[in-house]
């Protein structure tokens, strides 16, 4: 694909855009800096279809599904790290990398309830060297002890205590990441526990989940090294009728424990937009983790795009000036397209959403509102939508030394030819 723009044309277009935004009191130079400074946590599992390094053939159970068989899936830690590094070179702004327990690299197999920070040594060394902080997730799926569909909420004390030990091990590993990188590692608990058909007893599993979480969180760790979050869900494959860890459950739980709540954009009714939840939840929980995903008809985990919902959520965070209370992450896994492009598309789109949100002259909107001029509020919202945003985006890419426009596609093609197809 031929590039349609040069450094010079980007600079020219930017000068005009800068003046357009300045007319509304916005300094694009400052906003570009701020937008690049907000960390986005990229999910490692897009690189290998949530397979992990335990020798599994692929993702199993958990009510989630990676479909497609595009060539080039990363099969080891080294492949996953080098793919990620390449993807990072296409993505502007501060990045973090989110791992799952499945991605441990012990020399000989270690049970998931006995894993330790040592088993993530390669990841920690890489993180330090590349200055990419790590986030973490315990893995309650793709495991024989998850086959019943119940883990932390299991009625079998042996199964439940295995997963409690697993969750505690995960928190300790996250805390070790945090100490290694000098910023808290976000440790997100998501379990798939639930029922395909109508349960007769909706209460006991929730009581057991609450007790299990209490036990897991009772292990005290330094909050400078770990941020605990819990992720709710509406339904999954095989848990259509009932999910133990529902939104109500975790909202109340996070508020009662004063821990952060994770909102995944795919975990609500298909047309429900999570933007409106931010101002309410932030009154009661210390902060949020947002998983940007894209459900199509169901929680299908398609690649995040620059969608109305993504833009609404970013705008809402910017208007409330609460980026400091929200950990921003991506959560999708598409095995049907080039996985590195998938990383780049989702992360670039999210960074666009952040930039656009910060560029909004929000004060003019609240001023109009306070003055009772609601026509002006609406008119300005509409005008701001068509300000010359793309020129500022290209300049952001230029400043971050990553390809602007669609120029990154060429590099992906090259990497596919020289690295990915050889993995067949």
Q: Which does 137 bind (CB under 5 to 8 A by kind): Zn ion, ligand RNT, none?
A: ligand RNT
Q: Which residues pair with 41 in a beta bridge?
A: 96, 329
Nearest CA-CA partner of 147 in 106, 182, 193, 186: 193
**Count of residues in the chain:** 424
Active-site residue, selected from the candidate residues 18, 210, 267, 352: 267
Q: Which of 48, 264, 316, 416 binds ligand RNT (CB under 6 A)?
A: 264
Distance CA 356, CA 24 (A): 14
Q: Is 239 in the site for ligand RNT (CB under 6 A)?
A: no
Half-sphere exposure at residue 49, Cβ-oriented, CA atoms within 13 angstroms: 21
Total binding residues toward Zn ion, as defined by CB under 5 A: 3
Q: Is 119 in the site for Zn ion (CB under 5 A)?
A: no
Contact assessment for residue 80 and residue 103, using Cβ atoms and an 8 Å cutoff = yes
Active-site residue, selected from the candidate residues 119, 166, 210, 291: 291
Q: Which of 190, 249, 253, 415 binds ligand RNT (CB under 6 A)?
A: 190
Distance CA 315, CA 223 (A): 28
Q: Tokens 């109340």, residue?
A: 252
- Of 132-140, 286-294, 358-366, 385-393, the window that binds Zn ion (rule: CB under 5 A) is 286-294
Nearer to ligand RNT, 45 or 323 (CB): 45
Total binding residues toward ligand RNT, as defined by CB under 6 A: 11
Contact assessment for residue 159 and residue 151, using Cβ atoms and an 8 Å cutoff = yes
Distance CA 208, CA 152 (A): 7
Cβ burial of 36 (10 Å; 0-12, 13-18, 19+) is: middle
To the query of whether residue 299 is one of the catalytic residues in this protein, the response is yes
Question: At 330, which helix (H) or strand (E)?
Answer: strand 326-330
The contact pattern for ligand RNT, residues 287-306, with x = CB under 6 A and - = no contact, is ----x-------x-------
Q: Is 331 in the site for ligand RNT (CB under 6 A)?
A: yes
Q: Is 233 in the site for Zn ion (CB under 5 A)?
A: no
Q: Tokens 């409330």, residue?
A: 320
The contact pattern for ligand RNT, residues 127-146, with x = CB under 6 A and - = no contact, is ----------x---------
Q: Which of 160, 291, 302, 352 binds Zn ion (CB under 5 A)?
A: 291
Per CB under 5 A, residues contacting Zn ion are 264, 291, 331
Report the catalytic residues: 190, 231, 233, 264, 267, 291, 299, 301, 331
């Amino acid at each position: 694909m031929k590039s349609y723009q040069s450094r010079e044309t980007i600079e020219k277009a930017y000068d005009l855009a800068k003046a357009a935004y300045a007319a509304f009191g916005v300094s694009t130079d400052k906003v570009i800096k701020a937008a690049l400074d907000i960390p986005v946590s990229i999910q490692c599992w897009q690189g290998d279809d949530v397979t992990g390094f335990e020798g599994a053939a692929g993702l199993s159970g958990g009510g989630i599904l990676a479909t497609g068989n595009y060539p080039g899936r990363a099969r080891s830690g080294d492949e996953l790290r080098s793919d990620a590094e390449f993807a990072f070179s296409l993505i502007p702004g501060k990045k973090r990398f989110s791992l799952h327990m499945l991605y441990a690299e012990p020399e000989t197999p270690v049970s998931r309830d006995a894993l330790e920070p040592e088993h993530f040594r390669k990841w920690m060394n890489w993180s330090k060297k590349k200055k990419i902080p790590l986030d973490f997730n315990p893995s309650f799926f793709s495991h024989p002890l998850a086959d019943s569909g119940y883990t932390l909420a299991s009625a079998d004390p042996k199964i439940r205590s295995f997963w409690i030990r697993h969750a505690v091990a995960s928190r300790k590993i996250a805390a070790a990441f945090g100490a290694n990188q000098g910023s808290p590692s976000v440790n997100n608990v998501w379990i798939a526990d639930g029922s395909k058909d109508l349960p007769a007893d909706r209460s006991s599993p929730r009581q057991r989940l609450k007790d299990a979480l209490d036990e897991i969180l009772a292990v005290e760790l330094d909050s400078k090294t770990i941020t605990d979050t819990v992720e709710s869900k509406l339904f999954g494959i095989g848990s259509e009728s009932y999910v133990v860890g529902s939104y109500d459950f975790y909202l109340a739980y996070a508020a009662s424990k004063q821990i952060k709540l994770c909102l995944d954009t795919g975990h609500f009714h298909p047309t429900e937009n999570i933007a409106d939840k931010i101002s309410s939840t932030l009154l009661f929980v210390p902060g949020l983790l947002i998983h940007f995903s894209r459900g199509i008809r169901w929680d299908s985990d398609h690649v995040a795009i620059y969608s109305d919902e993504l833009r609404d959520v970013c705008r809402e965070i910017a208007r409330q000036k609460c980026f400091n209370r929200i950990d921003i992450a991506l959560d999708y896994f598409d095995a049907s397209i080039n996985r590195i492009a998938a990383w780049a598309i989702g992360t670039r789109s999210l960074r666009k959403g952040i930039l656009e949100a910060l560029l909004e002259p929000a004060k003019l909107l609240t001023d109009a509102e306070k003055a009772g001029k609601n026509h002006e509020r609406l008119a300005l919202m509409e005008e701001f939508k068509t300000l010359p945003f793309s020129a500022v985006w290209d300049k952001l890419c230029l400043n971050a030394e990553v390809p602007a426009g669609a120029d990154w596609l060429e590099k992906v093609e090259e990497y596919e030819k020289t690295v990915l197809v050889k993995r067949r």
